[in-house]
């Protein structure tokens, strides 16, 4: 025989249809967003990984001063590698951008055509899709390169430039100012060969199993090359940021969206629990009768648990469907806005389904189950008597009669609805976390950018390919080296080591033997202080080094270690007097450009902030919008519960002659006071929560951004909350 309680589901749904629709739509929206990002992210990562074989991506490239003859190529290929010509021209355009142009490569580093067609005429060019978007270029437009007008025939993704790094040593890629493109062989040659880069790509006959073996094979190949030719440049694929950065970086935002989803589901679960608790209070007599008639606690708990679980399950399924369709395109566009990715196919992802369906259902079940179990601990007689309070003292809290009647009435409303108002405070805090996150990141980046000029080690920082002297009086030599941190929270990153000369005018520290200074960014991120010992490792070797930290140097824009130059040279087996870099406050002009690996200036740091903001700006706006909607949802539903719970009191007040405006002043204004008070008193806690949350989420990114959110952003959150509540109150 079917459970007669099941007949109540339709009636319950009709009576609270508005509330269930709002909750359903919100859960659907949240799961669709997260599902879309996880599905798009996982599908793109899979396509990226497969692209190495599909498009025959190089294992590395090197550059010579002149074109290699057949004999030299044959000699190099004796190292079990295949060599491919990969010549390119690097030209300035009339847009002020730099364009690196290749012949359309058909053997190695093949291009993926995204739209349009590959060039067929010598005045046509296919350029990178994202570079075209950033510069508002479309198929059919004309760009001028070296005085020659070229028509854009198509948009492509070059698989060896999934991140548009102009140089592997750049701090960040720049999709607007640097781009790549392909032309026909005739078109390529028509531009001229006076600036031709004789670059060659190689592919191993036997693939390395990991980066450690790739380094060993790369070192062997470089030694062989140096015996038979002079190298202008040498970049193995495992260290080429243009190839590797995308794979290392993609997918990290899935963690952000996962935390975001679980926060939202937890809030909605509490709303369901409060709603169900309110329903139980209204139906307590019926529940007591059912219990006395033989219904068990388990049957009633399952009955009241069914609707939240059913709504969440259907919402999760609908959300996943939308995530695989509408939101997947939105998420893909955001990835395509940052990376030069090839085309991909949507892949079913079991882990994404667990994250967006199973875990939300578990959260919903646990929160509601625990509250229902606590509620049904009361005896049937207590339910029949509507005696659901757990406090023995039922005497009303005495209020001073000198307080005005309206104020006392409002205080009574607050005391009688304390659980609901506490939930409002908690909900406001969580909604504000989402809102302030959307505001905090741009403010944090702006603050970081403004500090760069004052916090840079020098106005110019030169990294050399080999020691080279200069007559520039501002220049001061140093030795640069790179190690990696040990794995922390599943993450490891590069650490820059600076070997500094004694009495340096750029790094004002006093070194002691066998001790180092660490940057303030290193100290903050890894919680390392003076007196501690840090352990760093070689990236591609099983070798570790321990360093005793003497102090923290004020350098907040990089994860760095400073030590005496002589000590660094000894530690890493460099010759006495060796150096490979210069600090300088003036531009150095008397060193051959071919000997300079990279130059770091404030412009490079600005590029980092600009690219981060460009790639994550849309996401931050999404967080702020969702935070406002979440705030309005919480206030609307809980305010509605307060009014429903006090429906009898409101009726009595109406009988006593109070009109709707006066009743509004009692109930709506009371809730307004609680909401505004919640907005203000939760600000200090919100700041602490944001500091911990941002530290946790951005720990997985290389480098460090010191936490900073101006007071104006918190004021904006309060104002947005008040305006949102005004809209809800009007409704």
Residue 173 has what pLDDT?
77
Is there a single domain that holds both residue 328 and residue 447?
A: no
Is there a single domain that holds both residue 92 and residue 225?
A: yes
Tell whether the model's pLDDT for residue 146 goes beyond 90.
no
Instruction: Indicate the SS3 state at residue 702.
Output: coil
Q: How far apart are the C-alpha atoms of 657 and 668, rounded to whole Å?
A: 18
- Reported confidence tier of residue 1, pLDDT bands at 50, 70, 90: very low
Q: How far apart are the C-alpha atoms of 692 and 523, rounded to whole Å?
A: 16
Report percent pLDDT > 90 for the chain: 25
Q: How far apart are the C-alpha atoms of 203 and 80, rounded to whole Å?
A: 9
Report percent pLDDT > 70 for the chain: 89
Q: Is residue 483 part of a domain?
A: yes
Is there a single domain that holds both residue 589 and residue 626?
A: no
Q: Is residue 16 part of a domain?
A: yes
CA triplet 21, 636, 678: central angle to 5 degrees? 140
Nearest CA to 634 among 577, 669, 678? 678
Q: How far apart are the C-alpha atoms of 196 and 295, rounded to whole Å?
A: 86
Q: Which two tokens stand for residue 202?
A: 């190689």
CA triplet 349, 354, 358: central angle to 5 degrees? 150
Average the pLDDT over 423-445 and give the result: 77
Total number of domains constituting the chain: 4
Place of tokens 């008070």: 677
- Beta-strand (E) ranges in 512-595? 515-519, 533-537, 544-553, 560-564, 581-584
Average the pLDDT over 278-282 and give the result: 78
Average the pLDDT over 140-168 and give the result: 89
Residue 124 has what pLDDT?
94
Q: Which of 119-128, 396-405, 656-665 has the highest mean pLDDT?
A: 119-128
Q: Is residue 234 part of a domain?
A: no
Nearest CA to 566 among 478, 466, 481, 474? 478
Is there a single domain that holds both residue 72 and residue 207?
A: yes
CA triplet 489, 494, 497: central angle to 5 degrees? 130
Pairing between strand 231-236 and 60-64? antiparallel
Residue 389 has what pLDDT?
66
Is there a single domain that holds both residue 658 and residue 593?
A: no
Q: How far apart are the C-alpha atoms of 648 and 661, rounded to whole Å?
A: 18
* HEC string for 85-112: ECCEEEEEECCCCEEEEEECCCCCCCEE
- Which residues are CB-neighbours of 229 under 8 A, at least 6 positions away? 64, 68, 72
pLDDT in tens, 689-704: 888 877 777 777 777 8
Residue where a domain stops, chosen among 394, 424, 446: 394
Q: Comparing 484-498, 535-549, 666-680, which segment has the lowest mean pLDDT? A: 666-680
**Are the CB atoms for 428 and 633 separated by under 8 Å?**
no
Tell whether the model's pLDDT for residue 565 goes beyond 80.
yes
Is there a single domain that holds both residue 362 and residue 451?
A: no
Q: Which helix (H) or strand (E) element contains residue 496?
A: strand 494-500
Q: Is residue 30 part of a domain?
A: yes
Instruction: Indicate the SS3 state at residue 167.
Output: coil
Q: How far apart are the C-alpha atoms of 582 and 468, rounded to whole Å?
A: 10
**Are the CB atoms for 340 and 161 separated by under 8 Å?**
yes
Question: Residue 731, CB half-sphere, CA atoms under 13 Å: how many?
Answer: 13
Phi-psi region of 252 (alpha: psi -120 to 50; beta: other; left: phi over 0): alpha
**Are the CB atoms for 55 and 159 separated by under 8 Å?**
yes
Is there a single domain that holds both residue 72 and residue 199?
A: yes
Q: Which two tokens stand for residue 692?
A: 């911990």
Q: Which two tokens stand for residue 448?
A: 């970081």
Is there a single domain that holds both residue 576 and residue 510?
A: yes
Is there a single domain that holds both residue 219 and residue 84?
A: yes
CA 227 to chain centre: 45
Tell whether the model's pLDDT for residue 713 goes beyond 50.
yes
Q: Is residue 238 part of a domain?
A: no
Q: How far apart are the C-alpha atoms of 222 and 239, rounded to whole Å?
A: 14
Residue where a domain stops, chosen among 600, 631, 650: 600
Q: Is residue 242 part of a domain?
A: no
Q: How far apart are the C-alpha atoms of 104 and 119, rounded to whole Å?
A: 8
Q: Is residue 235 part of a domain?
A: no
pLDDT in tens, 12-61: 777 777 778 878 888 888 888 888 888 888 888 888 888 899 999 999 99
CA 135 to chain centre: 24
Average the pLDDT over 82-102 and give the result: 91
Main-chain phi, psi angles of 642, to 5 degrees: -60, -45
CA-based max dimension of the chain: 106
Q: Comparing 224-238, 377-391, 514-528, 588-602, which segment has the lowest mean pLDDT? A: 377-391
Pairing between strand 560-564 and 494-500? parallel
Is there a single domain that holds both residue 529 and residue 617?
A: no
Residue 293 has what pLDDT?
82
**Residue burial 408-441, b: 16+ Cβ < 10 Å; e: rest:** ebbebbbebbeebbebbbbbbbbbbbbbbbbbbb
Q: How far apart are the C-alpha atoms of 480 and 464, rounded to whole Å?
A: 9
Tell whether the model's pLDDT for residue 201 goes beyond 90.
yes
Average pLDDT of the chain? 83
Residue 615 has what pLDDT?
58
Residue where a domain stops, chosen among 229, 264, 286: 229
**Are the CB atoms for 171 and 558 separated by under 8 Å?**
no
Average the pLDDT over 251-275 and give the result: 73
Q: Is residue 237 part of a domain?
A: no
Average the pLDDT over 596-619 and give the result: 67
Select the more confidently predicted residue: 3 or 345.
345
Structural domain harbouring 165: 66-229
Q: How far apart are the C-alpha atoms of 342 and 97, rounded to whole Å?
A: 23
pLDDT in tens, 315-358: 989 988 888 888 878 777 777 877 888 888 887 777 778 888 88
**Are the CB atoms for 89 and 180 separated by under 8 Å?**
no
Is there a single domain that holds both residue 154 and residue 89?
A: yes
Is there a single domain that holds both residue 578 and residue 434?
A: no
Q: How far apart are the C-alpha atoms of 713 and 716, rounded to whole Å?
A: 5
Tell whether the model's pLDDT for residue 639 goes beyond 80.
no
Pairing between strand 60-64 and 124-128? unpaired
Handedness of CA 160, 163, 166, 169 (dihedral sign): negative
Q: How far apart are the C-alpha atoms of 676 and 425, rounded to whole Å?
A: 10
């Amino acid at each position: 025989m079917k459970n007669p309680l099941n007949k109540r589901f339709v009636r319950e749904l009709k009576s609270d249809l508005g509330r269930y629709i709002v909750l359903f739509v919100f859960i659907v929206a949240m799961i669709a967003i997260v599902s879309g990002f996880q599905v798009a992210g996982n599908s793109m990562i899979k396509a990226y990984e497969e692209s190495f074989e599909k498009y025959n991506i190089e294992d590395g490239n090197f550059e010579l001063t002149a074109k290699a003859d057949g004999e030299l190529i044959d000699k190099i290929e004796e190292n079990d590698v295949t060599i491919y010509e990969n010549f390119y021209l690097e030209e300035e355009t009339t847009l002020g951008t730099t364009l690196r142009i290749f012949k359309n490569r058909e053997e190695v580093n093949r291009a993926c055509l995204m739209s349009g067609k590959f060039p067929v005429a010598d005045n046509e060019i296919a350029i990178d899709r994202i570079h075209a978007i950033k510069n508002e270029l479309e198929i059919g437009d004309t760009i001028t390169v070296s005085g020659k007008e070229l028509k854009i025939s198509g948009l492509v993704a070059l698989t060896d430039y999934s991140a548009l790094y102009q140089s592997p040593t750049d701090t960040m890629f720049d999709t607007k100012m640097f781009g790549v493109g392909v032309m026909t062989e005739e078109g390529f040659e028509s531009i001229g060969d006076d600036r031709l880069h004789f670059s060659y790509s190689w592919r191993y006959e036997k693939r390395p199993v990991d980066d450690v073996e790739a380094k060993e094979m790369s070192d062997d190949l470089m030694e062989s090359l140096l015996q038979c030719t002079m190298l202008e440049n040498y970049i193995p694929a495992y260290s080429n940021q243009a190839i590797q950065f995308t794979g290392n970086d993609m997918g990290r935002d899935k963690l952000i969206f996962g935390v975001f989803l679980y926060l939202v589901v937890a809030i909605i679960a509490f709303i369901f629990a409060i709603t169900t608790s309110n329903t139980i209070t209204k139906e307590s007599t019926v529940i007591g009768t059912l219990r006395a008639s033989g219904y068990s606690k388990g049957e009633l708990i399952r009955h009241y648990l069914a609707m939240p679980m059913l709504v969440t399950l259907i919402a999760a399924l609908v959300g996943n469907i939308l995530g695989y369709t509408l939101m997947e395109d939105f998420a893909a566009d955001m990835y395509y806005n940052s990376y030069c990715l090839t085309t991909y196919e949507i892949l079913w992802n079991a882990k994404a389904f667990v994250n967006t369906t199973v875990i939300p259902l578990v959260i919903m079940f646990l929160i509601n189950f625990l509250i229902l179990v606590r509620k049904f601990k009361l005896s049937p007689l207590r339910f029949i008597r509507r005696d659901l309070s757990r406090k023995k003292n039922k005497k009303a809290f005495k209020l001073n009669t000198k307080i005005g009647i309206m104020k006392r009435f409002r205080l009574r409303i607050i005391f009688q609805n304390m659980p609901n108002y506490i939930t409002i405070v908690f909900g406001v805090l969580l909604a504000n976390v989402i809102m302030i996150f959307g505001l905090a990141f741009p403010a944090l980046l702006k603050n970081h950018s403004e500090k760069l000029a004052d916090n840079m080690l020098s106005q110019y920082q030169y990294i050399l390919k080999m020691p080279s002297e200069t007559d520039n009086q501002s220049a001061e030599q140093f030795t640069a080296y790179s190690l990696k941190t040990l794995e922390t929270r599943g993450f490891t990153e590069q650490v820059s080591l600076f070997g500094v000369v004694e009495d340096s005018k750029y790094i004002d520290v006093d070194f002691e033997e066998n001790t180092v200074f660490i940057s303030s960014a290193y100290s903050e991120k890894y919680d390392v202080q003076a007196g501690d010992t840090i352990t760093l490792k070689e990236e591609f070797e099983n070798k570790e080094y321990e360093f005793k930290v003497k102090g923290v140097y004020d350098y907040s824009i990089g994860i760095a270690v400073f030590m005496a130059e002589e000590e660094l040279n000894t530690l890493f087996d460099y010759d006495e007097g060796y150096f490979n870099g210069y600090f300088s406050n003036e531009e150095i002009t008397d060193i051959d450009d071919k000997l300079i690996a990279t130059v770091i200036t404030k412009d490079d740091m600005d590029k980092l902030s600009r690219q981060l903001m460009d790639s994550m700006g849309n996401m931050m706006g999404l967080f702020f919008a969702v935070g406002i909607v979440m705030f309005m949802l919480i206030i609307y539903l809980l305010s509605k519960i307060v009014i429903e719970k006090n429906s009898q009191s409101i009726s009595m007040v109406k009988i006593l002659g109070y009109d709707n405006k006066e009743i509004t002043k009692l109930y709506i204004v009371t809730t307004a006071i609680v909401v505004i008070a919640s907005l203000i008193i939760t600000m200090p806690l919100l700041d602490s929560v944001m500091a911990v949350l941002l530290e946790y989420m951005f720990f997985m990114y290389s480098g460090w951004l010191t936490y900073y959110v101006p007071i104006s952003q918190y004021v904006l959150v309060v104002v947005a909350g008040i305006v949102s509540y005004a809209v809800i109150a009007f409704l």
